[in-house]
A = this chain, B = another copy of it.
Amino acid sequence: MYPLLVQVFMDEQTTITALRTHVSNFRNKRNWLKDNTPKNLAISISVEAAELLEHFQWKSDEQIREGLKDRIKKNQVSDELADVLILCLSFSDVMGIDISEAIEAKLRKAAEKYPVMKA
């Protein structure tokens, strides 16, 4: 009897490091690391972000809400978001950026710029 070897990825239990390692392994096995320069990754993050945006162009928020009830459509959007994030994870790997720290630092600055109004 062998234990189940498949790793299940779910946001509740997956750390950023685990997800990044998963993405980096995928990339390294294919010898793509050499092309993963910060510039090339930043280009592709922009390209994939635009593919995500493409799903919403020429449509009103109402039309989009209707369209997203379709499972296939929602999965396509999900796939485009994944593409953006896979590249961002690889970018953070190559650059040595701790994403949680970077987000926390950015939110702290944003909190000063946009303080919460008291009632």
Mostly, the A contact residues are helix
- Closest residue of B by beta carbon distance from A20: B11
A36 CA to B26 CA in the complex, in Å?
32
Known contacts A30-B116, A35-B58; decide if A107 and B16 are in contact (CB<8 Å).
no
Number of identical monomers bound together in the oligomeric complex: 4
B19/A103 in contact, CB under 8 A: yes
How many chain-A residues does the 8 Å CB contact rule pick out? Answer: 72
Known contacts A15-B11, A15-B15; decide if A103 and B38 are in contact (CB<8 Å).
no
CB-defined A-B contacts under 8 Å, sample of 24: A9-B101, A9-B103, A14-B15, A14-B16, A19-B99, A22-B107, A23-B107, A29-B116, A37-B64, A38-B64, A38-B77, A39-B64, A42-B52, A42-B55, A44-B57, A44-B58, A45-B49, A47-B50, A49-B49, A79-B102, A81-B88, A82-B106, A84-B88, A85-B99
